[in-house]
Chain A
Amino acid sequence: MNIHASTSRAPAPVLRVEGLSKQFEMHHLQRTLFAFDNIGFRLDEGEFILLTGENGAGKSTLLRTLYRSYLPRAGHAYYHTREGVIDLAAAADVDIAVLRRREIGFVTQFLNARPRVAAEEIVAEPLRLAGTPHAEALEQARRWLTAFGVKSQLWPAYPSTFSGGEQQKVNLARALILPQRLLLLDEPTASLDRDARRALVERLAELKASGVAMIGVFHHPEDVASLVDREIRLETIRIADGADDVAE
């Protein structure tokens, strides 16, 4: 009898979250705002997790905490880097900055564009920071802008003059131009037209197939239904005195 060793292998973990909690200390109100408590899950290579829950349940806050725009109150978020495992909840700022440049992307609907910088330069910038020559970075940036439906007349213009939808397309092109290992998606399709939403979903599908792990909140979850492997529902924290989220 021939026994063949299986060639399939278990997907490698990218992120393991344990007991993660977040609360905001509002000094001027002398109050604490509870966002989420004791969250735990695992995210593997090529896996797509959809976060669901009512408004205020902490979905976007969880993404921002994983990206370390917010500081967690407790818990761990073990991220498997190419060099080893690092706890995003406690890692030094400078390490987080390195991971953001190399491996972890945050895709949001909001563009924080520097004034007087052309749309194509904004999109090309992550590539340039990674060492890609200017001409090549610009060429790729233009491809991405085309994919998201930004007209060529707008490429050399300043995004601060664009409509919200066009700004968002520039933002998406910039966020997705560099390959990442982990993508945090915070309502990236909100206010996008249908063609741009389709272009985004196509790009996310390519990234997922290439092994990129993703976790996100979506304004139109049906857009990404074909990509979702699992759903995690966040519940609004209820405090005994009836004031949701807030404790004195």
Chain B
Amino acid sequence: MTAPGVAAPTGLERQPPRLMLARPILTMRGVARRYGDVQALAGVDVTVYPGEVLGIVGESGSGKSTLLRMMNLEDTPDAGTYHLALAGREPAGPDGRNLFTLDRFQRRMLRAIHIGIVYQNPHLGLRMGHTSSGNVAERLLIAGNRNFAELRQRAREALEASEFPVARMDARPNTLSGGMQQRVQLAKAIALEPAVLLLDEPTTGLDVSVQALVLDTLKRLQRDRAITMVLVSHDLGVIRTMADRVMVMRCGEVVEEGLADQIFQDPQHEYTQQLVHAKL
């Protein structure tokens, strides 16, 4: 009998990937971060492959949003490494270098060009006093685009791809509904076709019908553009709908990782079983 709290051994060690032709696009190893007495992350490893959606679940305080902030280079860990495979992308990133060692300017550029993020709170991702198209164009400006007509056209395309009604592209986000604000954030995040799109509770707080529409847009973007996504959510229904693989976090550690259907149908760890069985 397995002791409570310990992942049940399957008796089989899973093999390293052999069939995957592409190498991982995002790799983190041993990421640790302490805030005062709280060990927010305790040596977390993450591997994300091109085109997949990695879901991260766990209760409040499990470290999932902290981990996402690390992926977005908003914070520096006490230990750990972070690599993005950016070879072949323009402009070329610091391939092979631990991204946590970059200076603030380098991080900002990398974040602007190669990493997209959608926050739960649109105030974190948008300038509410600018127009929606201006918010998207700002991302393009950082990447060096200075042609006004082109900026506007590319902003329009990104908004259309996010299923934002372009007739309202010059409206300020603070005049839009929550679902529309999330679409502007999404357009901003995908405008430069990032290597990875980070989604921090993107549908939390939206009513159910709007949530379904936003999830459908995300799924379509993943299917049509093969955008690699990391999705943090406490909503297991959202994770089950969206994710190919799932990481379960608790107290700053990854307690279980697997294919989404395996995590939901045959959870191994006691905590994962509690989490899955607690779903309404």
Give A residues with C-beta under 8 Å from B. 21, 24-28, 30-32, 64, 68-74, 81, 83-84, 86-87, 89-99, 112, 114-117, 125, 128-129, 248
Contact = CB atoms under 8 A, between A and B. Distances in A.
Given A73-B12, A98-B20, A116-B216, 9 more contacts: A25-B1, A71-B10, A92-B17, A92-B20, A95-B20, A97-B245, A116-B212, A129-B223, A248-B1
B159 to A, nearest CB: 20
A99 B265 CA distance: 19
B235 to A, nearest CB: 13
A92 B244 CA distance: 13
B14 A30 contact: no
A71 B268 contact: yes
Interface in B246-280: 257-259, 261-262, 265-266, 268-270, 273-274, 277
Contact of B265 (A64, A81, A248): A64
Contact of A94 (B12, B20, B277): B20
B4 interface: yes
B147 interface: no
B223 A93 contact: no
A114 B220 CA distance: 12
Nearest to A21: B11
B269 to A, nearest CB: 8
21 contacts: A27-B4, A27-B273, A64-B266, A69-B259, A70-B266, A71-B262, A72-B11, A73-B12, A86-B18, A86-B19, A90-B12, A91-B14, A91-B18, A93-B14, A93-B259, A94-B17, A96-B259, A97-B52, A115-B216, A129-B223, A248-B1
The 8 closest A-B pairs by CB, nearest first: A25-B8, A27-B270, A115-B212, A92-B17, A70-B266, A95-B19, A71-B10, A74-B11
The interface centre, meaning the residue of B1, B223, B224 with most chain A CB atoms within 10 A of its CB, is B1
A106 B219 CA distance: 21
A74 B245 CA distance: 22
A6 to B, nearest CB: 34
Nearest to B245: A93
Contacts of A116: 209, 212-213, 216
Nearest to B246: A93
Contacts of A32: 1
A26 B10 CA distance: 13
B12 A71 contact: yes
B143 interface: no
Contacts of B207: none
B268 to A, nearest CB: 7
Contact of B262 (A30, A31, A70, A112): A70
Contacts of A114: 212, 215-216, 219, 241
